């Protein structure tokens, strides 16, 4: 209960700050003289895509959604933002009158609920509209809130764009956006029907003097690995870096890096794998995951790796891992 109260409080602070910002002069806007110009649906798509991308989501405009349920048509969603934990489903519309708005809201709720069922993971909805002061936006907000979706008008999108420029730091801005969406405190633990893989790999870096193209920075090497993982269901949960010194005990020759990786696979994903690949065990899926991580690390510049080398400093080491899952649910996958 206490955690929920904290989330509510932070979310209310953001709303209050937004209201105060609305009282300021339009000339303070990030878009300057454009602030009073008509914002169309395309403007909303571009701005929201930029905002969520800066918040470390992988975004796609006009993403094609193929529904497999009978009687339901496939459709395009204006902006789809994806990260490790969740997806954000955004529709951008122009609400002209009450009758039109009711249909748009109903269609939006139907689409996102069908998408949630087909996906099997957490999806947050945002209905973004161009402002129309004649409509009862409060009523729309309340209806959407009951469906775990949010209402953004073009003024709030403009506000978030300004906030993005003000904050500058991606991690801080991401927290700010998730606070607004009441998405802080998301658990790392999977749902009861998910499989959670935890893996540790270690490797040595190359000698700093051998690093070409810039100043040697072990943090940049780790960031490059994170960038390669962006958009996937894997993230780094822990990292340690130890300096390796020369025999004199003073000269740095390389670093030893240990990384813990975590991936959560839903039952739906597992079922798709078995349908396309035939018989698979949990061990098969785990080993494929290990191979994929190893192949990724091999490609990272700065990682000291040479195929079939006997030099211990030129190898990538698997230090262990585990798979957590409900053995009763996955009884058919635990043996070949």
Please answer whether residues 313 and 246 qualify as being in contact, where contact means their C-beta atoms are separated by less than 8 angstroms: no
pLDDT per residue over 220-269, tens digit each? Answer: 899 899 888 877 778 888 889 999 998 888 889 999 999 999 988 877 77
**Average pLDDT value for residue range 141-146:** 80
Closest residue by Cα to residue 58 from 229, 256, 275: 229
Dihedral sign from CA coordinates of 44, 47, 51, 56: positive
Give the per-residue pLDDT at 227.
85
Beta-strand ranges (E) seen in the chain are 58-65, 75-82, 87-94, 123-130, 149-153, 195-204, 234-245, 252-265, 316-324
Domain residue spans in the chain? 2-180, 195-333
pLDDT per residue over 81-115, tens digit each? Answer: 987 667 889 999 887 766 767 888 888 888 888 88
Q: What is the pTM assigned to this prediction?
A: 0.48
Longest dimension (CA), the chain: 79
pLDDT per residue over 14-36, tens digit each? Answer: 555 555 454 443 333 333 334 43
Percent of residues, the chain, with pLDDT higher than 70? 74
**What ranges in 146-205 are assigned the alpha helix state H?**
154-167, 170-180
Q: 2-180 architecture in CATH? A: 3-Layer(aba) Sandwich (3.40)
Average pLDDT over the chain, rounded to an integer: 78
**Average pLDDT value for residue range 320-326:** 87
pLDDT per residue over 177-227, tens digit each? Answer: 877 775 443 444 446 678 889 999 999 999 999 999 888 889 889 989 988
Q: In which residue are the tokens 């700065």 written? A: 302
pLDDT per residue over 127-137, tens digit each? Answer: 988 865 555 56
Burial of 86 (0-12, 13-18, 19+ CB in 10 A): middle
Give the per-residue pLDDT at 131.
67
Q: CATH number of the domain at 195-333, please?
A: 3.30.70.60
Q: Which residues pair with 198 in a beta bridge?
A: 262, 322
Q: In which residue are the tokens 């956006």 written? A: 177
Burial of 256 (0-12, 13-18, 19+ CB in 10 A): middle
**More reliable by pLDDT, 51 or 272:** 51
């Amino acid at each position: 209960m206490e955690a929920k109260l904290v989330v509510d409080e932070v979310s209310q602070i953001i709303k209050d700050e937004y209201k105060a910002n609305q009282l300021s002069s339009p000339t303070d806007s990030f878009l300057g003289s454009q602030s009073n110009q008509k914002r169309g649906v395309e403007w909303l798509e571009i701005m929201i895509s930029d905002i969520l991308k800066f918040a470390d989501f992988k975004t796609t405009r006009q993403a094609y959604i193929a529904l497999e349920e009978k009687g339901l048509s496939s459709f395009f969603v204006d902006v789809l933002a994806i990260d490790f934990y969740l997806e954000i489903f955004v529709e951008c519309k122009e609400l002209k009158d009450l009758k039109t708005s009711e249909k748009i809201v109903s269609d939006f709720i139907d689409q996102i609920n069908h998408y949630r069922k087909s996906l099997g993971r957490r999806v947050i909805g945002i209905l973004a509209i161009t402002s129309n002061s004649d409509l009862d936006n409060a009523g729309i907000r309340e209806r959407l809130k009951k469906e775990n979706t949010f209402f953004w008008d073009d003024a709030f999108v403009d506000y978030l764009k300004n906030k993005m420029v003000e904050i500058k730091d991606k991690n801080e801005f991401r927290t700010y956006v998730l606070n607004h969406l009441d998405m802080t405190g998301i658990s790392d633990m999977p749902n009861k029907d998910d499989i959670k893989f935890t893996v540790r790999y270690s490797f040595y870096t190359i000698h700093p003097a051998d690093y070409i193209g810039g100043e040697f920075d072990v943090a940049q090497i780790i960031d490059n690995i994170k960038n390669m993982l962006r958009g996937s269901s894997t993230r780094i949960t822990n990292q340690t870096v130890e300096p390796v010194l020369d025999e004199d005990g003073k000269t740095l020759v390389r670093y030893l890096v240990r990384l813990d990786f975590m991936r959560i696979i839903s039952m739906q994903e597992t079922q798709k794998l078995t349908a396309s690949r035939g018989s698979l065990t949990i061990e098969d899926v785990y080993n494929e995951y290990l191979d994929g991580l190893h192949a990724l690390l091999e490609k990272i510049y700065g990682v000291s790796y040479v195929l079939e080398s006997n030099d211990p400093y030129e190898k990538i080491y698997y230090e262990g891992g585990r798979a957590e899952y409900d053995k009763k649910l996955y009884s058919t996958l635990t043996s070949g």
